[in-house]
Structure 1
Amino acid sequence: MALNKIRQLDQDSVGVTLPKGDMRVEGILDENGMLKGDYHVHIRHIGDGEWSLELIDKHQL
């Protein structure tokens, strides 16, 4: 199990790094490892220490 650190982004938010390997599998990175387009993630708090992430393509907004 890989562990990712929660980081302070600014006064109002924190972030978690998503592994590029996983993002490549999803097809959202180009051949240089950069984002191909504009994406958003819907985050749901499920319960005690558990969240789910859903990748939302800009065309779904």
Structure 2
Amino acid sequence: MALNKLRQLDRDSAGITLPKGDLQVEGLVDENGDVDGEHYLHVRHVGDGEWTLELVEEL
């Protein structure tokens, strides 16, 4: 199980990194590892210490 560190982004938000290899599988980064286009994810808190991420295809 890989562990990812929670980081302070600004006063109102924090972030966590996602492995680029996983993002490449989803087609979200290009062959150079750069984000390919503009993407949005819905983050949902589902329980104690558990969240889900869902790629939103259309806004």
Does TM, normalized by the shorter one, top 0.5?
yes
| 4+ residue segments displaced more than 3 Å | none
Question: What is the match of residue 29 of structure 1?
Answer: 29
What does 1:1-61 align with in structure 2 at a 5 Å threshold? 1-57=1-57, 60-61=58-59
More helix by share: 1
How many residues in Structure 1 have an aligned counterpart in Structure 2?
Answer: 59
The percentage of aligned residue pairs carrying the same residue is 64
TM-score by length of 2: 0.95
Measured on the aligned residues, the alpha-carbon RMSD in Å equals 0.7
